[in-house]
Structure 1
Amino acid sequence: MRTGAIVHVEMGETTRLAGRYRLLNPLGAGSVLLAFDEARHRDVAVRRLRVPTELRDAALHEARRATTLRHASIVRVLDVVIEDRAPWLVMEFVSGASLEQAVRARRPLPVPQAARVGVCVLSALATAHEAGIVHGRVDPGNVLLTTTGRAVLTGFGFPSLSMLPSADLWSLAATLHFAIEGRPPGQMPAEGADPLRSLVRAMLHPSGAPPLDVVGETLDRLAVDRPLDAVIAASGPLPPADAAAVGLALLDRLLAIGEFHGGVQPGNVMIDSSGRARLLPLLRAGTLPAYTAPEGAQTQEADLWSLGATLFTAVEGAPPAPGARLARAGALAPVLLRLLSGHPQDRPTPDELRAELLAIRSRRS
């Protein structure tokens, strides 16, 4: 920390902080100023830390701790200076628009882009929380979208008012809600069975967010992969051999979980660029009716029925319904009929199912 009087320069009304940060023009709404660090020959952003007198010492302590944070998605606090008894934060200058500006000027973000924002901000918060620092001000105005597509979190260095890390995660969910809906969640978070909206609703739920590993895994997958239902909508039904490969990946995942999953449906199945399928963890949304086993039980046999309904959709382009015909399933048809039996005991065992799916997958051209 350094102190010194604000020096007025004869050219215009430009001023300097600490004898080195030459103030230039406002950024955004004007609470943050662009400045030039004459010692390091670089642009920086500066902001006066306005807090009640009784919180000044605590605010300075928080600001100095923030200077230790290093992360690709954190706007660094570079310096803390005192001018005329007023504390100022000197921050890394990042070129880009805030998430709030981007959504209001254009439209809500596509799910993959919003998920990438979530990946960046969640990683930034994890680093801060590991250092014992709570942000306390996560919102669309404090998330910057850079020209390279990276999201960075600014606003560190301000008092967090003794908030818990869970408050940051709730605010992240509200920020992602704004990103995909163009509005805060309010009392009515957006409906929708897609994984990102399901995740946001789960994170906003009063009983608490899902485990961090579930949040991180879901955002990671949504940022780079596409849900199976989106793949079908864009490219049409899958060939039976490709659907069998999806089925094998999902079966392995269900067996690894070793208990009832309850969310096997196309929207929870992510397909990567190589065509490999991954099953997302179950969030609070549950399973859609078209993919819920008729017995309504929470058993692994019920998951197998849902797997059959998912593969039915993969090859036919629509979920199973009374009287629906298997027109495209080919060699997969008898497997689907057994999986979709109304009697759990008539469905194949996992070992039987794996053998049948392997045989069908081997017919890939």
Structure 2
Amino acid sequence: MAETRKLNGRYRLLNSLGTSVRLAFDEAEHRDVAVREVWVLPELRDAAVSEARRAMALRHPLAVPVLDVLVDGGRPWLVMEFVAGVSLEQTVRGAGPLPTAQAARMGVCVLSALTAAHEAGIVHGRVDPGKVLLTTTGRALLTGYGAPSLSVLPSADLWSLAATLHFAVEGRPPGQVAPAGPGPLKSLIRAMLHPSGTPPLNVVRETLHRLAVDRPLDALLAASGPLPPARVAAIGLGVLDGLAPGWFHGGVQPGNVVVDADGRARLLPLARMGTLLAYTAPEAAPTHAADLWSLGATLFTAVQGRPPAPGTPLGGAGPLGPVLLRLLSRDPSQRPVIDDLRRELLAVAGRPV
């Protein structure tokens, strides 16, 4: 028979909600709550209770709040708001890995909750797929605050977020094998899991936000095939806005270019240096001119459906053809400067110069 005793004379225990979590009814507030027993050594109980009560101050729309902390039968218990949702772990194990956009939206939500907690001096310490709840409204909520964090650093939460994202897109924990493939989300996950440390927080945040709503150019091409020259020129203008004279990006390629629903393109910040061979300039130098060659190779792929190769004709490129030839010159000095390139792309795109 299921246990029906009350905690602290108030919370009547009901059925299990998962590992160590129970549904309970709060008889004082007449509401359902979730309760979790905290397993901790007796000598650490007071410290664990104190840390859990600090977590009660955290209020964020994407963090499941801790409502009460109590000691019953000599053991600490956390009382949390009850949220109707299915854990990421259950979802992936039942239906398989998430699509990139859904996984990125989950990452945006969890990162927002973690950032707010870190700013308040609170570390989660146990981020994993079982503590991410996916709701019917499309939000992801992070639960599990209030458990002892074992004095871990905020950077550990970000590594755990990367491992959780890895599980979301691969269906397994990272282990010894990082996610394969050139996609920007997998590239970001690899960078976040790298022993050298997480990329800058603004890079992580912007990449997740973009992938949550926009489509990578390589995915767009895989779905629709080559694009018309005018549209490719418009994409080139968006990428060009992410480049600046004298500054080397080092990752201009279709997987790092995202396109929104209105056709606007944007070059993602680079989590870690690296360009696929097909989009690496022949001189392989970290220069602005090399980025322009990579831009030319990216636009070539967008209009032709395949990366450039020696002797490949430019059929179907139309007025974009001469622009691509200059961008793909083996002589860096023959590639156009940004202002001239922008005017040429504007003309091909049919926009006022």
Q: TM-score range by the shorter chain?
A: over 0.9
Partner letter of residue 98 of structure 1? S
Deviation at 1:203, TM superposition (A): 0.5
Shift of 1:12: 8.0
**Separation in 2, partners of 1:246, 1:123:** 30
Tell me how far 1:154 sits from its aligned partner. 1.0
**More deviation in 43-52 or 279-288?**
279-288
The aligned counterpart of 1:25 is: 15
User: Over residues 327-362 of structure 1, what are the superposed CA-to-partner deviations in whole Å (9 max), with x where a residue is unaligned?
Assistant: 111000000001100001111111111111111111
1:124 aligns with 2:119: no
Structure 1 residue aligned with 2:35: 46
- What is the match of residue 55 of structure 1? 44
2:64 aligns with 75
Q: Verify: 1:190 aligned to 2:179, yes or no.
A: yes
Give the one of 222, 225, 249 matched to 1:261: 249
Task: Supply the RMSD in Å over aligned alpha carbons.
Answer: 1.5
| C-alpha contact 1:193 1:285 (8 A) present in aligned 2 | no
Give the match for residue 332 of structure 2.
Answer: 344
**TM-aligned CA deviation for residue 34 of structure 1:** 0.4
The counterpart of 2:316, out of the listed 295, 317, 328, is 328
The counterpart of 1:205, out of the listed 167, 180, 194, is: 194
Query: Which residue type is aligned with residue 69 of structure 1?
Result: L
Q: Aligned partners of 1:250, 1:12: CA distance in 2, in Å?
A: 60
1:313 aligns to 2:301 (yes or no): yes
Candidates 266, 276, 283, aligned match of 2:271: 283
CA distance in 2, matches of 1:14, 1:285: 57
* Residue-pair matches, total: 352
Name the TM-score, length of structure 2 as normaliser. 0.97
TM-superposition CA deviations, 1:174-233 (whole Å, max 9, x none): 111111111111112122111011101100111111000000000000111000111111
Unaligned runs of 5+ in 2: none
In structure 2, distance between residues paired with 1:65 and 1:359: 59
Percent identity between matched residues is: 72
Residue equivalent to 1:244: 233
Distance in 2 between the 1:120 and 1:137 partners? 16
- Given that residues 198 and 285 in structure 1 are in contact (C-alpha distance below 8 angstroms), is that contact kept between their aligned partners in structure 2? no
1:227 aligns with 2:216: yes
Task: Please report the TM-score for the alignment, with normalisation by the length of structure 1.
Answer: 0.93
Deviation per residue, 1:249-269 (Å, 9 max, x gap): 1112102x8510010000000
CA contact (8 A) 1:270 1:280 kept: yes
Q: Distance in 2 between matches of 1:269 and 1:226?
A: 8
C-alpha distance in 1, partners of 2:104/2:171? 15
Answering whether residue 57 of structure 2 is matched by residue 86 of structure 1, we say no
CA shift digits 1:114-149 (9 cap, x unpaired): 111111111111011011111110111111111222
* Partners of 2:2 and 2:14 within 8 A in 1: no
Q: Give the distance between the partners of 1:266 and 1:100, measured in 2 at CA.
A: 31
Aligned to 2:344: 356
